[in-house]
């Protein structure tokens, strides 16, 4: 395990005096506000294409790479104190990975796929966050997804739904379900294949892609953006995992994005950063999941620089953005977006998405 930075700690930064802070105009009470988190604790690598997963108040940051190498390190950020720690891990520790997925199932983390350089994987690893022991569970049956990275994974009813990604030769648009009801007897099932649609018929599935985002709302899997290596997509697709139906959402005004993050906050999907096909972005886009319309929201404070391949989690009415890449620099900062009224005043707390 890469632990080059172990043993070095950053002390908690002193509280700034009123006159020492940057000149930032005040925000209205209802405004969303960016700031840089006052992090302390263990030193950690600058990272891109890592995973960022929340369990309780802990943000588990695994793998990824900097400008030179890939890692299999695990860093834990306390989202209350912004303190980094590096737990001692044992067991079947995964190889260095980037662009894999990491899904919380109770107090365990399930890592799938990813790769390093020209190598791609389709292995499953499980980390118990209570004792930090990695295991490589037995997979029942002989059906497994192809090796891939830049895919997405979402948990729904004891199943992790994996969509898309790339295998080094082509982009993918299949959906697989990993049964995690018994962590010792996992099994894969192909839910939606990648068959070609006959000429002249309407394609009712998204184009193959990676570096998109996926979010579960009830039984609906929401796919946004991504790229097939040539095109940067702006489409939003919904897959009903109960009825096995794809639907393309008709949105008049759309935004191209890849390597962004998308986080559910009430009845909105908050999209941060990513690449629009021309440059890395730093804006915040909101997809209203009831009206299915986009809104570019104004933010205040000191926004992060444009970036992609970062990680974002929602905790305590804040979005925490960890790391990322802007085409030249890899970041190690933690940026905070205070959501203010947007975190509490969702237009409705219970809503459904029709397919």
pLDDT for res 4: 46
Per-chain mean pLDDT for the chain: 91
C-alpha closest to that of 349 among 155, 217, 154, 236: 217
pLDDT for res 26: 76
pLDDT tier for residue 345 given thresholds of 50, 70 and 90: low
pLDDT for res 348: 59
Give the tokens for residue 170.
């082509």
pLDDT for res 181: 96
Give the class (CATH, top level) of 29-195+204-344: mainly beta
User: CA 332, CA 337: separation in Å to the nearest integer?
Assistant: 16
Total-model pTM: 0.91
C-alpha closest to that of 106 among 151, 50, 53: 53
Question: Does the pLDDT value for residue 1 go beyond 60?
Answer: no
As a whole number, mean pLDDT of residues 224-241 equals 97
Question: Does the pLDDT value for residue 196 go beyond 60?
Answer: no
180 compared with 11, residue with greater pLDDT: 180
As a whole number, mean pLDDT of residues 220-239 equals 97
As a whole number, mean pLDDT of residues 15-33 equals 76
- The proportion of the chain whose per-residue pLDDT surpasses 90, expressed as a percent, equals 79
pLDDT tier for residue 17 given thresholds of 50, 70 and 90: confident
Report pLDDT digits (tens) over 39-50.
999 999 999 999
As a whole number, mean pLDDT of residues 99-126 equals 97
Residue 80: left (phi > 0), alpha (psi -120 to 50), or beta?
Answer: alpha
Question: Does the pLDDT value for residue 279 go beyond 50?
Answer: yes
16 compared with 259, residue with greater pLDDT: 259
pLDDT tier for residue 91 given thresholds of 50, 70 and 90: very high
Question: Does the pLDDT value for residue 98 go beyond 90?
Answer: yes
Report pLDDT digits (tens) over 247-276.
999 998 999 999 999 999 989 999 999 999
């Amino acid at each position: 395990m890469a632990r080059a930075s172990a043993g070095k700690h950053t002390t908690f930064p002193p509280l700034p005096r009123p006159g020492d802070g940057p000149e930032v105009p005040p925000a209205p009470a209802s405004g969303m506000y960016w700031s840089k988190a006052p992090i302390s604790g263990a030193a950690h690598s600058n990272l891109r294409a890592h995973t960022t997963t929340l369990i309780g108040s802990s943000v588990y940051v695994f793998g990824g790479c900097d400008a030179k190498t890939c890692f299999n390190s695990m860093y834990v950020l306390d989202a209350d104190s912004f303190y980094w720690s590096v737990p001692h891990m044992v067991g079947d520790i995964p190889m260095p990975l980037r662009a894999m997925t990491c899904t919380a199932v109770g107090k365990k983390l399930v890592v799938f796929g990813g790769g390093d350089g020209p190598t791609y994987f389709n292995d499953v690893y499980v980390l118990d966050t209570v004792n930090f022991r990695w295991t490589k569970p037995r997979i029942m049956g002989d059906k497994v997804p192809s090796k891939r990275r830049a895919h997405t994974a979402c948990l729904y009813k004891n199943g992790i739904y994996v969509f898309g990604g790339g295998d080094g030769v082509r982009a993918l648009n299949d959906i697989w379900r990993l049964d995690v009801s018994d962590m010792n007897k996992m099994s894969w099932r192909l839910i939606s294949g990648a068959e070609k649609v006959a000429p002249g018929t309407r394609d009712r599935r998204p184009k193959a892609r990676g570096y998109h985002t996926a979010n579960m709302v009830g039984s609906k899997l929401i796919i946004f953006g991504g790229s097939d290596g040539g095109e940067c997509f702006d489409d939003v697709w919904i897959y009903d995992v109960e009825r096995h139906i794809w639907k393309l959402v008709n949105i008049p005004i759309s935004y191209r994005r890849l390597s962004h993050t998308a986080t559910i906050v009430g009845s909105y999907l908050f999209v941060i950063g990513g690449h629009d096909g021309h440059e890395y972005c730093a804006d915040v886009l909101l997809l209203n999941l009831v009206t299915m319309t986009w809104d570019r929201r104004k933010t205040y404070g000191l926004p992060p620089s444009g970036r992609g391949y970062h990680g974002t989690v929602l905790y305590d009415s804040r979005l925490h953005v960890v790391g990322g890449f802007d085409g030249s620099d890899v970041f190690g900062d933690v940026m905070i977006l205070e959501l203010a009224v947007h975190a509490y005043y969702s237009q409705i707390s219970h809503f459904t998405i029709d397919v």
